[in-house]
Amino acid sequence: MDASNQDPYLTPPTPKRPARSAGRPGRPESDIPAPLPLEDLTGDVLLESAPRVMFQGQIVPSLGGIPLLAQLGRGSMAAIYLGIDPGLGIEVAVKVLKLRLAQPDMIKSFQREARLAAKVESPHLVYVKDVSEENGLHYFVMEYVPGMTASAYLRQVRDSGRAGLSETEALAICIAATEGLAVAHRKGIIHRDVKPENILIPNANALVPAEARIAGDEGKRLVFSAAKLADLGLAHAGDASGGFGSAGAAGTPGYMAPEQATDPQHAFKPADVFGLGATLYTLLAGDTPFRGNDKVEVVMNTVHKPHLPLRKSRPDLSAATLQLVEQCLDKDPASRFPDASALLEALQSCRAAPGQYQPSPSPVLDETPVPLVELPAETADTVPGASARLSGRRHAPSPRVSERTLFLLIVGVAALIVLVLLVLFLSV
């Protein structure tokens, strides 16, 4: 079936996770998907010590026997390359730690990211196949997802003149990402950096074997319901109470929960719920719910000021979606959804709510090939000194509408009882 004709809400069958290629004989290049992008990586300083191999008539760098063909992205900690697994003959992404960061503590953190990603298995999480070191280069091999990040797609939408994604599109993307996050939460893993840059939207060809790929634009159509959550670089296995026990404020300003800045040791699963709520807000409004002139101001506004109301920029949204975003962005973690599973149920209810958009045709990617991950200058921003500046100034939770209504109702009933008693007293 043509993937573009499927209901955009249908989740594709869970792909079988390929076995590790260790010890398997290499496949002939004729079995490898073609054509593949070959970038000249001769001047890439990070790969200077990488062994060289012959691939499609060219000498290319390699790690673990995997030819590296092109750079997909580069951040402050690592670079990601497109490679070919010689045993399976499939495209993979290889994340390489930068040499200047190859210190014991950073290597440990880098390996922890790979191990955490390998612990969870879901069609909505980017999985890790292997982690290793060669010639002083620390790297891990992970799933390659041809497509576009949610943030890149949002920019494409805004460039077309729209404020943000349709409600249908944004909900489908966030439901898929939340499905992956729910699996991580059930394993006791907290992501800590949920944002549009860390959500990958695959194209239709990414969901079928190479020999069944769809020709032309149909194969490039994005499948929102198959989106995957990536980058566990800041993730931590929760302690007995579900927290991640970090001493510093880590995350991305605009998406990190207030407690991540003020009290990171008590930032639990609701912090990820906040990040997903901020992500949904951004996809719909075209900008983050908390803004400022610099990172610290953004964090200060997140902790102390209310977010900009989503209904002002998107009055067309359903009441259910607006209410869900409000609950996710509550300053008080106890007032949010307790974890990703609870949020997923609410998101699915929003999708079924009256007044939703009808499914719109899936868009077509503008460029070929499309990078796996669009890494900003800093994959996740750590705000130095933010915890110290913000400690002792925590924002009191804003009263909820339902509580005020209940209070007024009680006061009204009490007043009515007093009035009745007074009339009875005077009539005696």
Tell the burial category of 160 from Cβ atoms under 10 Å away from its Cβ (0-12, 13-18, 19+): exposed
pLDDT confidence bin for 115, thresholds 50/70/90: confident
Q: How far apart are CA 18 and CA 27, in angstroms?
A: 15
pLDDT above 90 for 321: yes
How many CA atoms are closer than 13 Å to the CA of 44, on its beta-carbon side?
25
pLDDT confidence bin for 216, thresholds 50/70/90: low
Q: Tell me if residue 106 falls in helix, strand or coil.
A: helix
Q: Is the pTM of this model over 0.85?
A: no
Q: What is the pLDDT, as a whole number, of residue 212?
A: 67
Q: What is the pLDDT, as a whole number, of residue 114?
A: 79
pLDDT tens for residues 125-177? 998 888 899 999 999 899 999 999 999 999 999 999 999 999 999 999 999 99
On whether the CB atoms of residues 336 and 273 are closer than 8 A, the answer is yes
What average pLDDT is seen over the chain? 78
pLDDT above 60 for 417: yes
On whether the CB atoms of residues 176 and 225 are closer than 8 A, the answer is yes
Q: Please name which of 180, 82, 66, 186 lies closest in space to residue 131, comparing C-alpha atoms.
A: 66
Q: What is the pLDDT, as a whole number, of residue 219?
A: 61
Q: How far apart are CA 80 and CA 141, in angstroms?
A: 10
Q: What percent of the chain has pLDDT over 90?
A: 49
pLDDT tens for residues 176-213? 999 999 999 998 888 989 999 999 999 987 777 666 66
pLDDT above 60 for 21: no
Positive or negative torsion for Cα 353, 358, 361, 366? negative
Q: What is the pLDDT, as a whole number, of residue 76?
A: 76
